[in-house]
Amino acid sequence: MNYTLPFTYNGDTITVFLYGAPVTIDSTHPSFDAIFNILRDGITTPEQCEEVERLISIKRTIEKAVEGQSFGKVTVGNDAVLYNGVVINTYLTQRMLAILAAGLSIAPWAKFMEKLYQNPSKTAVDELFLWLDKAGMPITDDGNFLAYKKVREDYRSYHTGVTGEVWNYPGSTVEMPRFEVDDNRNKTCSAGLHFCSWHYLPSYHGNSGKVVLVSINPADVVSIPSDYDNSKGRTAKYVVVGEIPEDRVTHAFSGSPIWDGEYAFDSNTGWDF
């Protein structure tokens, strides 16, 4: 017996007639390619018909599970993200809706936005997600984000803070008063607990030290310095998640900086990267 599912295809959309009713999906559907391949190769069994129906339903099932969910003051709908009841249209929320449309969990990004909007710095709110997106750094399940830091062999920061040595042992929490962190992004090397992207690592003490992974609450970020292609940041607090094995981060010790420039550290301010 020949089993068929009538459908139309125009390159960006597929309309499948399930039980006689048209259901249209576009190329943002997470199973678009899989559905196209089944229909292109031809359906010969009832199981294939059921598989197409299942694949089509995935996106809407996810949307219904998430739609209207609240994460603090952040509410995620099918076609909008709201903060405190107001629709927010930013690069971050556009990316969140694209992630939802792709069938991925939106919860980490919603938690990230909730924490980010608790940050008193408008500059940090406006620029942090762009930094993350460009740096390719992930957001964790709790809404924090990960970044890197170069430290000495004994886990001390390369520069001392106002209260003395700054230690970065795996598992430790490092923090300083927020008002002591320089919020002027045009002052490139200044007071603050610094973090950076993967690609910036060789630009700082390129042939020595260790690389640690840090978890940062977006509410604690103070500024994204404008130098070095916006590849580093200053925060008031982070948690040292662990150390990256040297054989996994060999580029960080190449001694070949990606960006040129002078490192102008002011010993009077302390608390530098």
Instruction: Return the residue matching tokens 């260790």.
Output: 210
Instruction: Return the residue matching tokens 């399940």.
Output: 141
Given a cut of 70, the residues of the chain with pLDDT beneath it are 1-3, 58-68, 78, 103, 160-164, 183-191, 205-206, 225-231, 255-273
Which distant-in-sequence residues (6+ apart) come within 8 Å of 208 by Cβ? 152, 153, 253
Q: Tell me, what's the pLDDT at 257?
A: 45
What is 23-92 written as a DSSP string? EEEETTSTTHHHHHHHHHH---SHHHHHHHHHHHHHHHHHHHHHTTEEETTEEE-SS-EEETTEE--SHH
Q: Tell me, what's the pLDDT at 261?
A: 36
Contact 220, 173 (CB under 8 A): no
Per residue in 102-154, pLDDT tens? 767 788 999 999 999 999 998 888 888 878 888 888 899 999 999 999 999 99
Architecture of the CATH domain 122-253: Alpha-Beta Barrel (3.20)
Contact 115, 217 (CB under 8 A): yes
Three-class SS of residue 213? strand
Location of each CATH 3.20.170 domain in the chain? 122-253
**Two tokens, residue 19:** 């039980």
Q: Tell me, what's the pLDDT at 141?
A: 92
Q: Tell me, what's the pLDDT at 260?
A: 36
Q: Tell me, what's the pLDDT at 227?
A: 60
Q: Tell me, what's the pLDDT at 108?
A: 92
Per residue in 174-195, pLDDT tens? 998 888 887 666 555 666 788 9
